[in-house]
Structure 1
Amino acid sequence: MFFLHRVRVKKRLLLVLTFILLLLLFLTYHARPSKILPIKINEHTCSVYFKELEKNSKNWSNDFFVERWWSHIPLLEKVGDDVIKHVDRLQKFHKCLNDGGLRKEDITDVQSRLFPYLDFEKLHYNEADFWPVHTRWNGEIYQQAMLKFDHQTKAFIGIEQIHHRKGQYFWDQFAQNMTQRSSRGIVISVGNYQVGEVIRLIRVLRLLRNDLPIQIVHKGDLSEQYQEFIAKAATENHTDNFPNQELWFLNIENVLKPGYFEKFKNFGNKWLAIIFCSFDSPILLDSDTIPFTSLQRYYDYEQYERMGSVFFKDRKITNDLMRSNDLDTLNKITKSLLNLDFSKSNLDETLKKLAQTNDRTALETLDNLFSNRYKHHMESGLVVLDKKRNLSSLLTAVILHFSSINTIFHGDKEWFWFGQFLDRQLFTFHPQDASNTGKLGNVVVEGFEGDFYQICSVQLSHTDIDDSLLWLNGGLNVCKKNSWQFDFTKNKRVADSFDSVDQVKDYYLSPIELEGTIIPDVDVRPWIRIGECAGYNYCTLYKEGEFGKFRRFTDEEKREYNEIINIWNMPV
C-alpha cells in the first residue's frame, strides 16, 4: 500500500509540473513583450508596420508607467528591452512622418500610444481646457495662447491664439503654435518646497541685470501664495542696477492624463519644464543653481551654434563606477538601435567609426563610459537647448528616464546626452572639466613633498576656457542639507571639530567663501568625498607643476562674487 501511495503521489506531482510547464509556455507565447519588427520603413510600408505592430502586440503602448506582471520574469522581459521597443517605435514613427507615409487616422492613433501621458482625449473634445495656463507676474492669465516677446528688448508684446489641427503630429504643432520662433528665456521647475531657493536665484538674476524672460513651470503644485512671494521677489525695489524680471508661471497640469500627475516627480519634472515651456531655446536652471555671469553668453557658444545644446561636465568620479551588467544593458541597447557594439573587443573599432562624425569630447565621453566605466558625465544644473533641433531627443530622454534602466544613472542628467546619442544627434560638452570652488587651504599629503592647495565644498562649479567662474550648483551656504544633527551624531570628524549641534548648524548655514577653483587631475589625486554635509562635501587637491589646475580669484572677482553671495543669503 505504501508503495502504491508513493506512485500516486509521483504521478500527481508529474501532472502538476507538466501543467505548470504548459502554462508557462502558453504565457510566454501570448504575454511575451512585442519584438522589434524587422521592417524597412518607407512611405509604402508605414501603415503596414503599425498594423503589424498591433497584430503582434495587441493594444501596444509606450506607457512606461504600466507595471506588467511578466516584467518580473527574466525569461519574458529583460532590463533594457522596454527601451529598445519604445525608442524604436518612436524613431520609426518619426521616419514615417518625415517621409509622409502615414494617414491622419494613423497619426492620431499612434501618437496617443507613443505618448500615453498626454490627455489627447481632452485635446480632441475639450481643447480649451487642455492647454497650459500662463500667469504673468502682474496677474494676467492666458490659455490656449502663444506668448510673444520682442527679440531685442525681450519685453512681452502680446499673445497669439492657437488651435490644434486634428490628424497632425502634436509635437510639430506644439513647436509651431506654443513656442515663438527663436524665442529665448530661463526655465525653472518649481514646487512648494523649492520656493526659498527660487527667490534667492531670482535676486541673483536681478543683480546680474538679467533681461531674459523667466518661466516658473509647475503642475498645480505651487500655491498661489508662494507664486505671489516669487513675483514680489522679481519686481520689488526696482532700480536700473536691480531691474524687474519678466516673470511667468506656467501650469501644465491640464496636458497630463489623469493618473500621471504623480508619476512625474522629482527630477522627472524637469522634462516637463523644458519641453512645455514657452521658449524655442530655453536655458533650464535648477533652483539651487547660481550664475555668476550673464546667461546670454551661452547662446554665443560654438557648441550651441553647431549642435543646438550646451552641456557641462560632472565631477569625474573614479570610485563610483558602472556595474558590468549595466554596461552590458547599455551596449545591448546601442547594438539594437544604432548597430554600434561597445563591448570590450569591439570598442576601439566602434570609436574609430564614430570619429568620422563626432567630436573629441563626445568620443571621450563614450570611452569613459564603456571602457573606464565612469558613471558620472554630465551636470544638468544648467542646460541650454534648441528644442527645434532637439525635441525628438528630448522625447527619447523621457523614455530613458522612466524606463527599466532609470537607476543606472542618477536622476535626469545623463539622459540628456544619451537621448541625443540614441536619436542619432551629435552631442558634446563644454570643454572645461568640472571644478571645486571655495576657500583655499594648505595641506601636507602623506607620500608627497611640499604643500598642496586644497578646496573642500559641496558646490560643484564650472569655469570658462579662460578659467573665469560661470556658475555653480548647490546653493551658497556651507552645506545645502539640514544634516547638522545627523553629522554631529554619526560623523566623528564633525563631532571632534564642534562642541555642539548648534555650532554645526550655524556653520552649515553660513555663507561660503570663494577664493579660487581647483580642477583635479583624477589620475593622481581624485575627488574625495568626506562625511560633512551628509556626504555631499568633496575635497580636491592641486600641486603646482605636478598635477591639477588651479585659479585664484582676483580681488575684483571676489568683490563681485561676494555681492552675489550676500544677496543670495539674505533672509527669504
Structure 2
Amino acid sequence: MFLYKKKRIILLLILIFLLIGSFKLFHFSSSPVPYITTSENIVHTNTFRNGGFKNGYYIEPEIIENTLGIELKKTHSSYSVFTDDLNGQLHSLSTAEKCRVLARTTLLGDGPLEESTTDEALARNVERFRIYNYCFLKGNIKLTDILPDDSIIQLTTTLFPYMNTEILLNKESSNLIQKYDIMTKQEISIQFHYNHVNLFQSWVEKGNGKGIITTMAAKEFDFFLRLVKVLDKLDNRLPIQIVVTTQEDYTNFKRLLGVNLQHSKQDIQIINVSYILNEEFVKKKISGYLNKWIATLFNTFEESIFIDADVSHCRNTFFNLEPTTWESEMIGTKWLFDLEFSSSNSDFDGFSTEQSIHNSFFNDGIMHQIDSGVVIMRKTIENYSSLLLSLQLNMADVLNDCVHGDKEYFWLGPLISGNKYNIDPTSCGAVGSIYEETVENTNTKRIGICSTQIGHCDFNNSLLWLNGGAKLCKNPNAAMNDFERYPEFMTQRYKNVDHLSEIYNTRLFIDGVVIPDIQKESMQWMQTRECSQYRFCATIDIPKDNPNIASGNVIRFDQEEIASYNEISALWSEDISE
C-alpha cells in the first residue's frame, strides 16, 4: 500500500524486498518441497501427504450473520462536539480565531479523551483529533500563539497519551531520540522538537533520506537475521532502522546485532525512542502490532519502506466516524469517499482500487481488504497526521477484533482524517508450488497452491515481494501445537510431531502464484489446519476444454525466475549459523 499521494518511490526500491518474508500478519502459500536445480530442470515433490483437497481438510468458516443492506450513514450526529451554539460562534471567524475557540472549548473544555470503549467516545475522540489536525498540523498554527504552556501539556496528554509530556518542559534528557550504528558502533542523539512550536512539525521537517524501517520482538530475532542475509544477497544499499520503545530492548539489540552481524554489508541502525514516550502507557498499551506505528512515526527518514520482521458492530462504529455536515463546513473535513457514495454505488466496474476497497469494506462488510507487509511512506504533515490517527484507531478498545492487526488502519487512518492515500492495485496470491487435479465427475480442472506465504507480482508477472518467510511454516512450535489441537487429523497424515516438524522446516519451492477470484464462491481463500492454521489454499477452477479462461489468475514463472527465486528461498531457510 502506498500512503503518500500520487508520487511513489521508484518501483525498483520495492524489488529489494523480492521474496523477503514478513515477521507477522497474514501468511498464505504453497505446500512445497525439497528441490534440486540443474542446468536443465528443477525436480520437486509435494511433502504434504494426501494432497490438498481431501474431505475434512479445511477448517469450517465461521457463520457470520448477514448484515448487508443496512443503511450506510452516520448513526448518531449527537456524538459530535460541534453544537449549534458553537457553530454560531465559529461561522464568521478567521482560521486562527476559530482555532483559539476550538482549542479552549472542544479540545480542552471537554476534559481528557475518554477510553475509546464505546462508539460515542471513539467518535468524539476522532473528531477532536481532526480539529487538532486542522489547526496545528495542516493549519501550521503555533501552539504557543493559542495556549499557555500548561494548557499545551494538558492538550498533549489528552490527544497523545503515549507521548512523554516532559519533552514539553524543555528537559533535554527527555527530548532525545538515540541512533546507534551497528557497524561503526557510534551513537548520536537527536532532539525531537523545539520550543513548543508544534510537537510533531519539527520532527517531520527533520526527515532525511530514504531507508527501510522495521520493528521486532526478541522472539523474531532469528527472522531478522535471515532477512539481513537476503538483503546482502540482493545487494541492498538502503540503510535499515530498527525502532525500539524501551531502554532494555535498545541495550539487548545493540549487543545481539553487534555479535551476529559482524560480516553483514548492511547499514543497520537502532533507533531508541523510549525517552520521548510515556513509559507506563507503553507498558500498558503498546505491544504487538502497535509497535509498527511507533516505527512509522519516529524513524529518521523522509521516505521509508516499512516491512514486517516476518462483524456488524464494527461497521456501525466506523459509520459514526464520518464527519458531520457542521464539521465539514467549519473545518473542511471531507472523506475521499463518503458513505453516501458507497450506498449509491454497488457496482465496482470502473472504480479505482481505493474506491473498490472502500465499497467492499463499508458496503459488503468485508473487514479484511489489504496486506500491509510492505508500506511506502513520504514524511509530510498530511501523511504524518494520517499515521497519528491510525495509531489512535488501532488503540481503540471498541475496535478490537474488527480487523486483523494493523493492516486496514493504513488506509482507514488517512480516510477518516480526511487525507488522500494510494493502494497498490495488484492482487495478492498464494506463492509456492502449483498443482493441478481434476474435480471428480466434472469437466473441470482445479489449479491451486496451498502455503503459508502470500505475495504480489508486478505488471510483468515477476514476483515483487513475499510475506511469510521462505519455509513451509515459520512458527517453530507449530508441529507440536497442531498435534495437540488436532491429534486424529494430524496422525492420519503425518507420522509424528518430529516428522511434521521436519516438513515445516523444509524450504519453500516456488514456481508460480495463484490469485483466487474472490468474487466466485468456489475460488475463495481456504484455510487449512497445518502451521497453526496459517496455511491457506488459493484455487482456480477452469473448464478442461478452455484452459486459458483464468490465465490471469495463474502465474507460472520461467526457469530463470524459478532458479533465482529458489536460490533466495534456500538462503532464507538455511541454518542461521552458516
Q: For this structure pair, what is the TM-score category when the shorter chain's length is used for normalisation?
A: 0.7 to 0.9
- Which of 486, 494, 498 aligns to 1:498? It is 494
Instruction: State the alpha-carbon separation in 1 of the partners of residues 199 and 108 from structure 2.
Output: 25
- Which of 211, 215, 220 aligns to 1:185? It is 211
Which residue in 1 is equivalent to 2:360? 368
Instruction: State the alpha-carbon separation in 2 of the partners of residues 530 and 333 from structure 1.
Output: 36
Question: Over alpha carbons, which structure has the higher Rg?
Answer: 1
Question: How many Å apart are 1:167 and its aligned residue?
Answer: 2.9
1:563 and 2:551 equivalent? no
Deviations 1:287-321 (A, max 9, x none): 11xxxxxxxxxxxxxxxxxxxxxxxxxxxxxxxxx
- Which of 500, 516, 522 aligns to 1:520? It is 516
Instruction: State the alpha-carbon separation in 2 of the partners of residues 408 and 490 from structure 1.
Output: 26
Instruction: State the alpha-carbon separation in 1 of the partners of residues 345 and 245 from structure 2.
Output: 43
For the 8 Å contact 2:175–2:192, the answer to whether it is kept is no
Question: How many Å apart are 1:113 and its aligned residue?
Answer: 2.7
Which residue in 1 is equivalent to 2:448? 454
Question: How many Å apart are 1:125 and its aligned residue?
Answer: 3.8
Which residue in 2 is equivalent to 1:210? 236
Which residue in 2 is equivalent to 1:88? 127
Instruction: State the alpha-carbon separation in 2 of the partners of residues 175 and 248 from structure 1.
Output: 19
Question: How many Å apart are 1:87 and its aligned residue?
Answer: 2.2
Q: Secondary structure at the match of 2:294?
A: helix
Which residue in 1 is equivalent to 2:478? 483
For 1:69-218, list aligned pairs within 5 A.
78-79=118-119, 81-97=120-136, 98=139, 100=141, 103-104=144-145, 106=147, 108=149, 109=152, 110-138=155-183, 140-145=185-190, 162=191, 164-177=193-206, 179-180=207-208, 183-218=209-244
Amino acid at match of 1:113: T
Instruction: State the alpha-carbon separation in 1 of the partners of residues 408 and 466 from structure 2.
Output: 18
Amino acid at match of 1:442: E
Q: Which moved more, 1:205-214 or 1:425-434?
A: 425-434
Instruction: State the alpha-carbon separation in 2 of the partners of residues 107 and 394 from structure 1.
Output: 27
Question: How many Å apart are 1:105 and its aligned residue?
Answer: 5.8
Amino acid at match of 2:363: S
Which residue in 1 is equivalent to 2:314? 326
For 1:147-546, list aligned pairs within 5 A.
162=191, 164-177=193-206, 179-180=207-208, 183-220=209-246, 221-222=248-249, 224-236=251-263, 244-262=265-283, 263-288=285-310, 323-336=311-324, 347-349=342-344, 360-388=352-380, 389-403=382-396, 404-446=398-440, 448-481=442-475, 482-491=477-486, 492-524=488-520, 525-542=523-540, 543=542, 544-546=547-549
For the 8 Å contact 2:430–2:515, the answer to whether it is kept is yes
For the 8 Å contact 2:507–2:569, the answer to whether it is kept is yes
Query: Structure 2 vs 1, CA of residues 469 and 233 (structure 1 numbering), >3 Å: closer, same or farther?
Result: farther
Amino acid at match of 1:401: N
Question: How many Å apart are 1:205 and its aligned residue?
Answer: 0.7
Uncovered stretches (5+) of structure 1, i.e. residues with no partner = 1-31, 72-77, 146-161, 239-243, 289-322
Amino acid at match of 2:500: V
Report the TM-score, using the length of structure 1 for normalisation.
Answer: 0.75
Q: Which moved more, 1:96-105 or 1:548-557?
A: 96-105
Which residue in 1 is equivalent to 2:104? 51
Amino acid at match of 1:52: T
Amino acid at match of 1:271: W
Question: How many Å apart are 1:386 and its aligned residue?
Answer: 0.8
For the 8 Å contact 1:342–1:370, the answer to whether it is kept is no
Instruction: State the alpha-carbon separation in 2 of the partners of residues 509 and 522 from structure 1.
Output: 30
Q: Which moved more, 1:516-525 or 1:503-512?
A: 516-525
Question: How many Å apart are 1:246 and its aligned residue?
Answer: 1.0
Instruction: State the alpha-carbon separation in 2 of the partners of residues 345 and 258 from structure 1.
Output: 42
Instruction: State the alpha-carbon separation in 2 of the partners of residues 410 and 468 from structure 1.
Output: 28
Q: Secondary structure at the match of 1:551?
A: strand
For the 8 Å contact 1:206–1:234, the answer to whether it is kept is no
For the 8 Å contact 1:341–1:350, the answer to whether it is kept is no
Deviations 1:334-355 (A, max 9, x none): 2547677999987344789x99
Amino acid at match of 2:97: H
Instruction: State the alpha-carbon separation in 2 of the partners of residues 261 and 324 from structure 1.
Output: 30
Q: Secondary structure at the match of 2:304?
A: strand
Question: How many Å apart are 1:561 and its aligned residue?
Answer: 1.1
Amino acid at match of 2:533: G
Q: Secondary structure at the match of 1:185?
A: strand
Q: Secondary structure at the match of 2:322?
A: helix
Query: Structure 2 vs 1, CA of residues 534 and 447 (structure 1 numbering), >3 Å: closer, same or farther?
Result: farther
For the 8 Å contact 1:436–1:456, the answer to whether it is kept is yes
For the 8 Å contact 1:462–1:470, the answer to whether it is kept is yes
Instruction: State the alpha-carbon separation in 2 of the partners of residues 107 and 350 from structure 1.
Output: 48
Report the TM-score, using the length of structure 2 for normalisation.
Answer: 0.74
For the 8 Å contact 1:235–1:245, the answer to whether it is kept is no
Higher relative contact order (CA 8 A, sep 6+): 2
Query: Structure 2 vs 1, CA of residues 441 and 54 (structure 1 numbering), >3 Å: closer, same or farther?
Result: closer
Query: Structure 2 vs 1, CA of residues 445 and 428 (structure 1 numbering), >3 Å: closer, same or farther?
Result: farther
The percent identity for this pair of structures is 24
Query: Structure 2 vs 1, CA of residues 205 and 107 (structure 1 numbering), >3 Å: closer, same or farther?
Result: farther
Instruction: State the alpha-carbon separation in 2 of the partners of residues 128 and 226 from structure 1.
Output: 22
Instruction: State the alpha-carbon separation in 2 of the partners of residues 423 and 473 from structure 1.
Output: 29
Deviations 1:326-380 (A, max 9, x none): 212211212547677999987344789x99xx96111101111122211111111
Question: How many Å apart are 1:132 and its aligned residue?
Answer: 1.4
Q: Secondary structure at the match of 1:514?
A: coil
For the 8 Å contact 2:229–2:572, the answer to whether it is kept is yes
Question: How many Å apart are 1:164 and its aligned residue?
Answer: 3.7
Q: Secondary structure at the match of 1:470?
A: strand
Q: Which moved more, 1:126-135 or 1:550-559?
A: 126-135
Query: Structure 2 vs 1, CA of residues 33 and 373 (structure 1 numbering), >3 Å: closer, same or farther?
Result: closer
For the 8 Å contact 1:198–1:230, the answer to whether it is kept is no
For the 8 Å contact 1:191–1:218, the answer to whether it is kept is no
Question: How many Å apart are 1:445 and its aligned residue?
Answer: 2.3
Instruction: State the alpha-carbon separation in 2 of the partners of residues 329 and 34 from structure 1.
Output: 14
For the 8 Å contact 2:335–2:415, the answer to whether it is kept is no
Instruction: State the alpha-carbon separation in 2 of the partners of residues 370 and 224 from structure 1.
Output: 45
Deviations 1:276-297 (A, max 9, x none): 0010111111111xxxxxxxxx
Uncovered stretches (5+) of structure 2, i.e. residues with no partner = 1-77, 328-332
Which residue in 1 is equivalent to 2:9? none
Question: How many Å apart are 1:140 and its aligned residue?
Answer: 3.5
1:551 and 2:558 equivalent? no
Question: How many Å apart are 1:225 and its aligned residue?
Answer: 5.0
Query: Structure 2 vs 1, CA of residues 566 and 392 (structure 1 numbering), >3 Å: closer, same or farther?
Result: same
Q: Secondary structure at the match of 1:113?
A: helix
Question: How many Å apart are 1:211 and its aligned residue?
Answer: 0.2
Q: Secondary structure at the match of 2:196?
A: coil
For the 8 Å contact 2:513–2:555, the answer to whether it is kept is yes
Question: How many Å apart are 1:166 and its aligned residue?
Answer: 1.8
Question: How many Å apart are 1:129 and its aligned residue?
Answer: 3.8
Which residue in 1 is equivalent to 2:74? none
Question: How many Å apart are 1:568 and its aligned residue?
Answer: 1.0
Amino acid at match of 2:504: Y
For the 8 Å contact 1:128–1:144, the answer to whether it is kept is no
Q: Secondary structure at the match of 1:272?
A: helix
